[in-house]
Amino acid sequence: MSMALKQVFNKDRTFRPKRKFEPGTQRFELHKKAQASLNAGLDLKQAVQLPHGEDLNDWVAVHVVDFFNRINLIYGTISDSCTDQTCPVMSGGPKYEYRWQDEHKYKRPTALSAPKYMSLLMDWIEVQINNENIFPTNIGTPFPKCFMQVAKKILSRLFRVFVHVYIHHFDRVSQMGAEAHVNTCYKHFYYFVTEFNLTDHKELEPLKEMTARMCH
């Protein structure tokens, strides 16, 4: 890791406090297992596979939180060059524009600047992953029927952060020496969502050519 990148990551420039896994819980053990696979240099395609005897909901929950923390940090590293002036629309090149919609202020899909969209997105995800009714932390508490649907929505929206960063800010990523780190994080994310069919193929379209070079 380059010095510039270390300085940025040491600042821990996430927008929000990280969601931590409580020691002693099943989720904490699964998180350790996932991290051990990555640290051992296991092939990313293998690392994302569901460990024998583990529950898929738990495995997805652990990864959703982990990807939220990592992608939040990646966006934080380039956020100084992503402003209302440079990115007045949340997009992935001229063909793809992302509009924000939620249950509160933006009940219809609304065009927003990229930083505004990102801020609302990270707020929204944080609310979901800290909601015990959706992401239960106690062993024995069942996941709700809507869990996978919520997880898919979170992951689809997080993918849009990669799209925006790669298409509009990759020069900044390269300048900071963070290219290898971001690419590894992207490959890990891509293999995970495709392994469990957690993102519609149309969401993956904007980075299709790059993904074909990087992941196949």
**What pLDDT digit, counting tens, does each position of 166-180 carry?**
999 999 999 988 998
- Averaged over 76-90, what is the pLDDT? 95
d(CA 88, CA 123): 20
Cα-based angle 181, 186, 191 (whole degrees, multiple of 5)? 130
Q: Which residues face 99 on adjacent strands?
A: 111
87 is in an annotated binding site: yes
- Report the mean per-residue pLDDT for the chain: 85
Give pLDDT, residue 6: 41
82 is in an annotated binding site: yes
Return the structure tokens found at 79.
């956020």
Domains of the chain as residue ranges with CATH: 27-215 (1.20.140.30)
181 marked ligand binding residue: no
Residue 69 CA to residue 15 CA, distance in Å, equals: 10
Q: Residue 56 pLDDT more than 80?
A: yes
Check whether 146 is labelled as a binding-site residue. no
